[in-house]
Amino acid sequence: MFRRHPPTLVDWLVAGVVGLFAIAEEVSGRTASPSREHLAPWVVVGAAAAVLVLFRRRAPFAVLLVYSGASVVSFALLRESPAAWQFYTQLVLLFTLLSEAPSRGARAATGMAATGAYLFFMFTNSTPPPGWGDVAVGLVMCAIAGGAGVAVRRHRVLAVQAAERGELLAREAVAEERARIARELHDIVAHSVSVMTMQAGGVRLMLGEEKERERRMLATVEETGREAVDELRRMLGLLRGPHDDGLDGRPRLDRLDDLLDQVRAAGLEVTLDVQGEPVRLPAGLDLSAYRIVQEALTNTLKHAGPTKAAVTIGYHPHELRLEVVDQGPRGTPARAGVREGGHGLIGMRERAALFQGTLTIGPLGSGGFAVRAVLPL
């Protein structure tokens, strides 16, 4: 099936050029062939050819057949000598058909056969008769037009496939990052529910026998909590892959020093600036903030190598602000946008969105790169 293209600006320009060329050649007289006996009808024919060219992408096969058939009839029955504009119009229509239709399909084969018939009658009715060089030039021009159409279609197909593959990879990366975040948050929830269950059991044991009703209620809380923990552990088992080792010591912001020591050992000169009074953060938000900083530093090591970076943690009344700024590769000109994409940036975006936060990433004019996140408290 062909795509239904509305005429674009380029279509109007091509049609206008074809129409002007046809009318100018007919009115001014052709240099290689005798002039038409009846000029006015051919001016109209030139304008009609321009209209066909205008809508050639809406029905490339039908337009090529109509034009080729009308030209062959004029050559065979009217014995009209072909004009240059007629041949060039045929080339435009052949290019359009092969840029839209599969090159091995029936429509493409029919279009090439129609062009072959056009060439045969054009050469047999040319005045003066063409030489072998003229025939060779005509065949080469048809091959170039058809080959260019095939190349354009192949490029378009490859571009669509690349876009679909990129979209699929992006969806897979987002799903993978979301699964990773879910594993971490499920572990935190399971731990929190375990603590609540143990505390409920401790309170139950502290109550005297006279408070039997309260003891039964707390026992129910314990039982429900244990069932919830069991279900969460089953979910964690499903979410974890065969190579998932779980959380490494419950990462949180007050353990950033260990992370910074690791990246310093890898060659990154990093400083930490804590602004405001640190407050106790919800476990999930604390973990996500840690991961954002971790992935930003990993991104710096991966793309900028051994360089300088600054980490700023800002505690504000209603929000937590994170900033990781590096100076870019040492001795290498900055390339804006080179760090777009990748699982690290996807993970940071997903973590910020999870807590209704914002994430801003991008190159700096000085050649470095900045990651800034704002997480509401």
Q: Are 95 and 149 in contact (CB under 8 A)?
A: yes
pLDDT at residue 91 in the model:
92
The whole-number average pLDDT for the span 95-106 is: 88
* Residue (of 21, 95, 115) closest to 123 by Cα position: 115
The whole-number average pLDDT for the span 107-118 is: 90
Q: CA-based diameter of the chain, in Å?
A: 122
User: Side-chain half-sphere of 243: how many Cα atoms within 13 Å?
Assistant: 0
Regarding the domain with residue range 253-376, which homologous superfamily does it belong to in the CATH classification?
Histidine kinase-like ATPase, C-terminal domain (3.30.565.10)
pLDDT digits (tens, 9 = 90+) for 286-330: 888 888 998 888 888 888 888 899 999 999 989 999 999 998 887
Q: Which helix (H) or strand (E) holds 269?
A: strand 269-275
Could you tell me the pLDDT band of residue 187, with boundaries at 50, 70 and 90?
A: low
pLDDT at residue 245 in the model:
45
What is the overall mean pLDDT for the chain? 81
pLDDT digits (tens, 9 = 90+) for 238-275: 665 554 544 445 678 888 888 898 888 888 899 999 99
pLDDT beyond 50 at 52: yes
Cβ neighbours of residue 26 under 8 Å, at least 6 residues apart? 36, 39, 42, 43, 46, 83, 85
The predicted model scores a pTM of 0.50
User: Side-chain half-sphere of 93: how many Cα atoms within 13 Å?
Assistant: 34
**What is the rounded CA–CA span in Å between residue 265 and residue 4?**
60
Domain boundaries, the chain: 9-130, 176-239, 253-376
The whole-number average pLDDT for the span 20-43 is: 74
**Alpha-carbon separation of residue 239 from 156, 177, 251 (angstroms):** 39, 12, 19
